[in-house]
Amino acid sequence: MTSKPAVILHTQNGAAAKKTVETSHPDLSVHVCESYTRLPELISDTGAEVVYSVRFAGSDSFPKKALVQSDTVKWVSIGGSGTDHLGQWDADWLTVTNAAGVAADMMAEYVLGMMLAFSLDLRGFMRAQAAHEWGKGKVTPIKGRTALILGLGHTGQAVAARCKAMGMNVLGVRAQPKDTEHVDQVYGMADLPDLWNRADYVIVCVPLLDSTRGLVNRQALHAMKPETVLIDVSRGGVVEEGSLIEALTSRSISGAGLDVFASEPLPQDHPLWNLSNVAITPHCSSVFEGWEMSSVEMFTKNLARYRQGRPLRNIVNPKRGY
């Protein structure tokens, strides 16, 4: 750690991010990189010690080796919450932090919106409107229904607060169970087989880890009630897409609101596009006006701690993935 580290802002909003950082750290050498391919060369040219990075063009071509195998980079500040696109890193050499919590409220509103979209059958009404059809309407209250939240981090807790505000019963699952505000009952991951059939809404908020990959699999989906709606705001890979398509096609679950996918952008010929009981959004549940500047401000405050030799906030354990 040096008091005046060279800093790279790896983001497509480079000018705004640089202005924010330089306002608080005018003495630092701050560089902007707005592409994946340019990052390795810029790290080499500048000897960057600190990199703030946003996964702005998907995971497949993300330049993770440039970050986790660099001879100079000692701290990578991820602009979002997920770090699976980095792979593994040596925590004795490299510190990785994330911006967990910066989009929790927006993601919780997204989840609530999805629940209401299904309970009010908004998609059905929109199809009828497009066809100029005055059919029979059916709306269902979510009050009294049960939400099962997988993952009770910042986002899961924000979801729980909104579910309770709507009069729902809230069940939650976390790696280390403990009493959590707005959650009626908290369980461990091993308890999931007994929980699937209790939920009207299953909300997936866990990070993508070895322990969560395929967590929502064929067995889990077939254990759910036919009325269940699955809402996924985690990472592609937590839900087995093939098994989900099977469950949705056979109507063994009612529907799904999906913001994340194993392959992004979702291929045009993917079968999920054609299912009438699916709502698809382009990994945007955490993308709201001003989100990245909030993330950059969080980084800027952490950068002050770094320069002062104080412990960083939101350090990610590579073995846990959060």
With beta carbons less than 8 A apart as the criterion, state whether 172 and 202 touch: no
Q: How far apart are CA 161 and CA 181, in angstroms?
A: 8
From residue 120, how far is each of 116, 123, 149, 252, 272 by CA, in Å?
6, 9, 21, 20, 21
SS3 content of the chain, % helix, strand, coil (to 5): 35, 15, 50
Q: How far apart are CA 318 and CA 279, in angstroms?
A: 33
* pLDDT at residue 59, rounded to an integer: 82
Look at residues 272, 283, 256 and name the one whose alpha carbon lies nearest to residue 117: 256
* pLDDT at residue 258, rounded to an integer: 98
* pLDDT at residue 319, rounded to an integer: 81
- How big is the CA angle at 204 (ends 201 and 209), to the nearest 5 degrees? 155
* pLDDT at residue 137, rounded to an integer: 84
Q: What is the mean pLDDT of each run of 10 residues along the chain (322 residues)?
A: 91 94 96 97 97 90 95 96 91 95 95 98 93 91 98 96 98 96 97 98 94 96 98 96 98 97 94 97 92 94 96 92 76
Active site residues: 235, 264, 283
* pLDDT at residue 104, rounded to an integer: 94
* pLDDT at residue 2, rounded to an integer: 77
Tokens 């194993």, located at residue: 262
